[in-house]
Amino acid sequence: MLNYFLLTLTLTGYNLSYYNCYFHYAVAQINLEGVFHMELSTKLAQVIVDRMMKTIPYNINMMNDEGIIIASGDHTRIGKLHTEAIRVLKKNEILKFSHNDPKENVQPGVNIPVNFHDQTIGVIGITGDPQEVTPFALLLKSSTELLLEQQSFQQIEENKQN
């Protein structure tokens, strides 16, 4: 039995029976009990990365809930699996990597989980010395989660009005 209806909505709204959904670049799943699950869309993630890299002098990657890089300052990495993001998704913990880390294809930096309603929905990674980039990653995590919360609240308010 299908547990989730996947809605991919962009700048325009779609009237779905009594749910009037307006998500700007977000992807939402509403299960049969009406519980929300938000995913970070590729478009929104790239907008966040591009905007933040104007201020933060380090490369930023954003990975989805499957560990795939969906946005990056290094566009050649988009679409590739980030194996360490998988660990972050499973453990919901911050992982830091230094220049001395023996793992192959792992650059120094930090990977931090992005959460929405107690679910890990993605990972933010910033390349650089972990001591230097961790505060930026924590700020970016908070900003991303606040943006997702705002979109969720907007949806709830719009549903109340309809």
What pLDDT was estimated at residue 25? 44
- Which among 84, 52, 44, 49 is positioned nearest to 68, based on CA atoms? 84
What pLDDT was estimated at residue 157? 79
What pLDDT was estimated at residue 40? 79
Is residue 23 within 8 Å of 11, Cβ to Cβ?
no
Domain parsing of the chain, residue ranges? 41-161
CA distance linking residue 16 with residue 46, whole number of Å: 28
For residue 84 the two structure tokens come to: 């360490």
With a CB cutoff of 8 Å and minimum separation 6, the contacts of 110 are: 94, 95, 96, 97, 125, 126, 130, 133, 134, 137
Q: Does domain 41-161 have CATH number 3.30.450.40?
A: yes
Q: What is the pLDDT along the chain (162 residues), one digit of tens a residue?
A: 333 333 333 333 333 333 333 333 444 444 444 445 567 789 989 999 999 999 999 999 999 999 999 999 999 999 999 999 999 999 999 999 988 776 766 789 999 999 998 899 999 999 999 999 999 999 999 999 998 888 878 777 777 787
Q: How is residue 143 annotated by DSSP?
A: H
Give pTM, 2 decimals. 0.74
